[in-house]
Amino acid sequence: MTCFAFFITTGGNLKAKHVIHAFGPRMGEGDEDNKLRNSTLNSLKLADEKKLKSISFPAISTGIFGFPIERCATIMISTTIDYLSKNNSLQKVVFCLWGKPAYSIFENELKKQLK
């Protein structure tokens, strides 16, 4: 399975105007790191194509799909930093995380990569 941002819909009753439906890898299916990187990158590209100013991400695949959150943080943050370093319409990327432990992992990884 190749991971990619499959489609974009309206936000319905959410405060968000749009929802990008991205698919993440299941641990054990093979090539998980690359699949997560592609899912993140293609979500950013789709947001940019639609001229969105911001995008929010969960820690993709770290729930029932079993992806280690530390690896997720490393991949998603590095992919996002690399994408934002190029000319694009995105002004804000938010990582919506479940609980203080997940927040701390992403915060520490972001500080590490921005050094």
CATH class of 5-114: alpha beta
pLDDT (tens digit per residue) in 43-60: 999 899 989 999 999 999
The helix (H) or strand (E) run that includes residue 46 is helix 32-49
pTM of the predicted protein model:
0.89
Q: Is the distance from CB of 60 to CB of 76 less than 8 angstroms?
A: yes
In eight-state DSSP terms, residue 8 is E
Q: What's residue 87's pLDDT?
A: 80
**Spans of the chain below 70 pLDDT:** 1-6
Q: What's residue 4's pLDDT?
A: 52
Q: Which of 17, 55, 16 is nearest to 39 (CA)?
A: 55
Q: What's residue 6's pLDDT?
A: 67
Q: What's residue 30's pLDDT?
A: 93
Q: Is the distance from CB of 57 to CB of 43 less than 8 angstroms?
A: yes
Between CA 28 and CA 14 the distance in angstroms is 33
